[in-house]
Amino acid sequence: MIANNLYYKCGPLYLAICLISSIAPPVWSQSTNLDAHVHGEAELLIAIEDKRVEMQLLSPASNILGFEHEPASDEQWEQVHQTEELLKDADRLFDFGEASCVANSQIVELPFEQMHGYEEQHTHEAHEEDHKEHEAHAEVSAHYVFECAEPPTEITALLITQFPLIESLNAQWITELTQGAQELNANRLRIDLR
């Protein structure tokens, strides 16, 4: 079975990314924006193997946090931490309808996180470097694995209502039988997998 081979070759954590980069370039490459960084747009990659769902969310930080520079105040640091908590709370971001899926793994990567607490140690020079660095854009990624009671036939991307700065979510999925893509937005949250 293709999915099983992939599972071993790529490891469970990076299956979705691996699917895109290794086996299905003709499918994904036409519509995916993995390298693009467009504020307001985000990507959701979904790999489904029977009752197991793996998802990768990729977004400019501006859609998720509202900013892409290093947090400049306690309020902004608080926002980073709260956002991380929300991104880890998969039940508030996705609904699988009848399939009742439960998240058993979530890995959230926010920018800046590792820097918090080290600010005091920065020299003036280091700060200059930081400022240069943070003129660049920043990304957020989150990876989820769900185990479901039955194979899901739909996914509702509640995360669009949680993060209203995501104007357009490009969802792409692959199952053992089929694959597809759908553009989601505030008026269209549901992915039909059938």
The residue ranges that bind Zn ion (CB under 5 A) are 60, 68, 137
Whose CA is closest to 49, among 15, 21, 82? 15
CA distance 156 to 138: 26
CB burial class (10 A; 0-12, 13-18, 19+) of residue 111? buried
CB of 61 to Zn ion, least distance (A): 7
CB of 68 to Zn ion, least distance (A): 5
Cβ-proximal residue to Zn ion, closest one: 137
Whose CA is closest to 149, among 56, 54, 4, 50? 50
CA distance 142 to 58: 7
Tokens of 85: 């908590």
CB of 41 to Zn ion, least distance (A): 11
CB of 62 to Zn ion, least distance (A): 5
Tell me whether residue 64 or residue 160 sits nearer to Zn ion (CB atom).
64
Tell me whether residue 9 or residue 137 sits nearer to Zn ion (CB atom).
137
Whose CA is closest to 181, among 194, 171, 169? 171
Tell me whether residue 112 or residue 144 sits nearer to Zn ion (CB atom).
112
- Alpha helix stretches (DSSP H) within 41-173: 61-65, 74-88, 124-133, 159-162
CB of 66 to Zn ion, least distance (A): 11
Tell me whether residue 33 or residue 104 sits nearer to Zn ion (CB atom).
33
Tell me whether residue 125 or residue 135 sits nearer to Zn ion (CB atom).
135
Q: What single string gives the DSSP state of each residue in 100-129? A: -EEEEEEEEE-SSGGGTT-GGG--HHHHHH
Tell me whether residue 49 or residue 68 sits nearer to Zn ion (CB atom).
68
CB of 122 to Zn ion, least distance (A): 23
